[in-house]
Chains A and B, each alone.
Chain A
Amino acid sequence: MAVTKVVMPKLSEQMESGKIIKWLKKEGERVQSGDILAEVETDKADVEMEAFGSGVLRKILVAAGNKAPVGSLIGVIAEENDDINSVVAQAGAPAPAAESGAAAPRDGKAAGDAKPGMADRPAAVPPQPKSEDPAARKPASSMAPSPVGQRAVASSPREMGGAEMSPQPPQGVPSTGGGGGARVKASPLARKIAAQSGVDLKLIHGSGPGGRIVRRDVEAAATAPAASAAPALRPVAQPAASGPEFEDLALSPMRAAIARRMPLSKAPVPHFYVTSEVAMDRAWELREELNGLEGQPKISVNDFIIRACALTLLNHPGVNASFQGESIRVFHRVHMGIAVALEEGLITPVLRDVHAKSLAQIAVEARDLAERARQRKLRAQELSGATFSISNLGMFDVRDFSAIINPPEGAILAVGSVRRVPVVTDEGLGVGRRMALTISCDHRVMDGAMGARFLQDVKKLLEEPLRLLV
């Protein structure tokens, strides 16, 4: 006898609500712990949601296509005979409901009672739960920390007990992620055409069986924007095309998440910036030497920077820290967020315990993360829990720039290109490789001098790069 509540898991730091793409189990179907129950679309990725308990999926409270706030009840797993009325009744308002007509009779009166509260149509639920009626929001947040089902879903690390210092997501989160990466169902031909025409399959609705994206879907998507993009690219001198003057593009889930999150960082987090220039000549030579060795993974400049920051952060815990309102949480491990640019936005997968990893390990794992980020194949636990982030625009011939902090992290390092520039040496004027590093810091957590000292030590490591190997 175990009634397991199925709640909308928190799959990333930023996640406030998730959309059920589809249920892979039907009401009345038997499920084993670990079975994939449903696919959930978060702001960052599509993730498979695992069952945490075994039994019968007695009730689905949020139908496919609908959104639910993190922590809200979306289904119930129990044995045939278990009474789930009270659990279902608790669901109350926060869960946008399935059309539960067919299911209601099974669960008797209580389910029926719950129904009016759940009758909101999905469209009525705004993507940002915070803007919802606070009264409606309340039960959801009060429910999240007290799941009845074992292991259900805990919230972000911030909300965990003060004793828990590790930023790693609590147990429940990885198991919900369950190794499921983003998976788009598309015919091989549709994939090929999408790749050739630059159409993002994530953004297309599939018209084939089970939502499979087929050729006609990709072609429709490819022709629509392309037709309007073409005139825009023409030189101004050309006679104006007859096309529309502008168009409003729908926000992708990722773009919407970025749009929602960034003001929440830039406005409330008082940023300050410190820039330093690093002589990269020796690091450059060392990297070439390392990459010349047979059987070694290829190491990028960014891998050097990740390693240098990881080592430095151990000695500068004040920079590896997060503002918690009443306190500052200082992390003793370094989990590095690495910003990866995508067509439709950007994503910051997390390299865990990077302070304990060699340069080669970092190179291999960072490349794997970046590649899977581009394929939207990241697991949920790889998208949250960073203690510090690096954003590198070096490949775009950028001298320097400053990045926006990704809360609750306390700082982010912006990396420019390694450029060959004239430098003054003891002998006179020479040519050297220089790179600008700009750290953005949360002034609530640290001050300018702390940021500068951190940067100084990163610079020292990069300028004496053999230190990165020992």
Chain B
Amino acid sequence: MAVMTYREALNLALREELTRDPNVFVIGEEVGLYEGAYKVTQGLLKEFGPKRIVDTPIAESGFTGVGIGAAMVGLRPVVEMMTFNFALLALDQIVNSAAKLNYMSGGQYNVPLVIRGPGGPAHQLAAQHSQSMEVYFYHVPGLKVVRPSTPMDAKGLLKSAIRDDNPVIFIESETLYNIKGEVSEDPDFLIPLGQAIVRREGTDVTVVAYMGMMYRAMEAAEELAKDGISVEIVDPRTLQPLDTQTIIDSVRKTHRAVVVEAGAGFAGMGSEIATEITEEAFDDLDAPVLRVTGAQAPMPYARNLERLKTPTKEKIADAIRRVCYANESR
């Protein structure tokens, strides 16, 4: 175990996998000479050379397509999106090629590809660079979608993603790159895809949240503990496939649930999870499942408006009080 940043944990995962498997390579904008827009690929060009760490032109559709082709013939590319908002330019490659080739070739090809990079709201990145891009991908059959909230998860899940034989969308966060946490230095340490984790144990309400929202839910939970409300926090970690069982088990215990997501709420992850809970644990519910989500509006640039658009600790705490039939604070 070592304490390191989320960024360092990702870097370590890449280094270990590049070392372990000669078929692994990294491709994307500024990943080599510049060592990554967010320095996730720091030192890799020097260590593994330009054939393994490949700088590309600004052409997301093109280099994603290169990654898919390479994956089809046996390599294990890690495609970096400078931010995941740019993956919109490669949507056809991802949705129509990466996700479907295994099916449409009758299993003759598989696409062991990882597309990774930061996504979701950060600090004043405005409408085009603050989107919770996971919603575009977890709807597509054939794609796995990972959102790791801690340095440990970043490492363990990225390694599992690289070793997975099918395409994995791996969305990090600008706001988390600098957080620190304990990380296993074991090169064989993996966290399987599709396993949620209980981040905080509680008895009164289950809050499902990931990435930055998970940390805000933690703060809300600390505050509510003073009022005697015991909050359990479940971090799904992988959104597709979703570990419904861990969520349901928690709700069966607490009888109430709040789902938090940074993006707009309509047909979002919160809707999906709320529905799963209702279908699987209806008779265990003492209150409707509530969602705390971003507003149905483009992300404003202004800091005060950005705060209004995004779920805050206070909004999460209020939702928790509501499902607990406790008085709202304000």
Q: A-side interface residues toward B, CB under 8 Å?
A: 187-192, 207-209, 214-216
Contacting residues, chain B, for A215 (C-beta < 8 A): 255, 286
Give the residue of A189, A207, A209 whose beta carbon is less than 8 angstroms from that of B285. Answer: A189
A-B contact pairs, 15 of them (CB 8 A): A187-B285, A187-B287, A188-B283, A189-B255, A189-B284, A189-B286, A192-B283, A207-B325, A208-B287, A208-B325, A209-B325, A214-B286, A214-B287, A214-B325, A215-B286
Cα A187 to Cα B323 with chains together (Å): 11
Contacting residues, chain A, for B283 (C-beta < 8 A): 188-189, 191-192
Give the residue of A188, A207, A216 whose beta carbon is less than 8 angstroms from that of B282. Answer: A188
| Distance (whole angstroms) from the CB of B257 to the closest CB of chain A | 12
Contacting residues, chain B, for A189 (C-beta < 8 A): 255, 283-286
Contacting residues, chain A, for B282 (C-beta < 8 A): 188
Q: Assess the B286–A190 pair: CB atoms within 8 A.
A: yes
Cα A231 to Cα B285 with chains together (Å): 33
Cα A154 to Cα B81 with chains together (Å): 75
Cα A187 to Cα B251 with chains together (Å): 14
Q: B-side interface residues toward A, CB under 8 Å?
A: 255, 282-287, 325
Interface of A is mostly: helix
Contacting residues, chain A, for B287 (C-beta < 8 A): 187, 208, 214
Which residue of chain B is the closest to A189 with respect to CB atoms? Answer: B286
| Distance (whole angstroms) from the CB of B192 to the closest CB of chain A | 32
Contacting residues, chain B, for A188 (C-beta < 8 A): 282-286
Contacting residues, chain B, for A208 (C-beta < 8 A): 287, 325
Contacting residues, chain B, for A192 (C-beta < 8 A): 283-284
Contacting residues, chain B, for A190 (C-beta < 8 A): 286
Cα A189 to Cα B325 with chains together (Å): 14
| Distance (whole angstroms) from the CB of A183 to the closest CB of chain B | 17
| Distance (whole angstroms) from the CB of B222 to the closest CB of chain A | 24
Cα A56 to Cα B42 with chains together (Å): 71
| Distance (whole angstroms) from the CB of A219 to the closest CB of chain B | 10
Cα A116 to Cα B218 with chains together (Å): 57
Which residue of chain B is the closest to A187 with respect to CB atoms? Answer: B286
Closest 7 CB pairs of A and B: A189-B286, A215-B286, A187-B286, A188-B283, A192-B283, A188-B285, A188-B282
| Distance (whole angstroms) from the CB of A173 to the closest CB of chain B | 35
Sample of 12 further A-B pairs with CB below 8 A, known A188-B283, A189-B284, A192-B284: A187-B285, A188-B285, A189-B283, A189-B285, A190-B286, A191-B283, A192-B283, A208-B325, A209-B325, A214-B286, A214-B287, A214-B325
| Distance (whole angstroms) from the CB of A15 to the closest CB of chain B | 34
Which residue of chain A is the closest to B287 with respect to CB atoms? Answer: A187
Contacting residues, chain A, for B285 (C-beta < 8 A): 187-189
Which residue of chain A is the closest to B255 with respect to CB atoms? Answer: A189
Cα A215 to Cα B283 with chains together (Å): 11
| Distance (whole angstroms) from the CB of B280 to the closest CB of chain A | 12
Cα A191 to Cα B255 with chains together (Å): 13
Cα A208 to Cα B323 with chains together (Å): 10
Cα A191 to Cα B285 with chains together (Å): 10
Cα A170 to Cα B283 with chains together (Å): 41
| Distance (whole angstroms) from the CB of A13 to the closest CB of chain B | 37
| Distance (whole angstroms) from the CB of A144 to the closest CB of chain B | 42
Cα A187 to Cα B325 with chains together (Å): 12
| Distance (whole angstroms) from the CB of A185 to the closest CB of chain B | 12
Cα A188 to Cα B285 with chains together (Å): 6
Contacting residues, chain B, for A187 (C-beta < 8 A): 285-287
Report which residue of A187, A191, A192 has the largest number of chain B beta carbons within 10 angstroms of its beta carbon. Answer: A187
Cα A215 to Cα B255 with chains together (Å): 9
Which residue of chain B is the closest to A209 with respect to CB atoms? Answer: B325
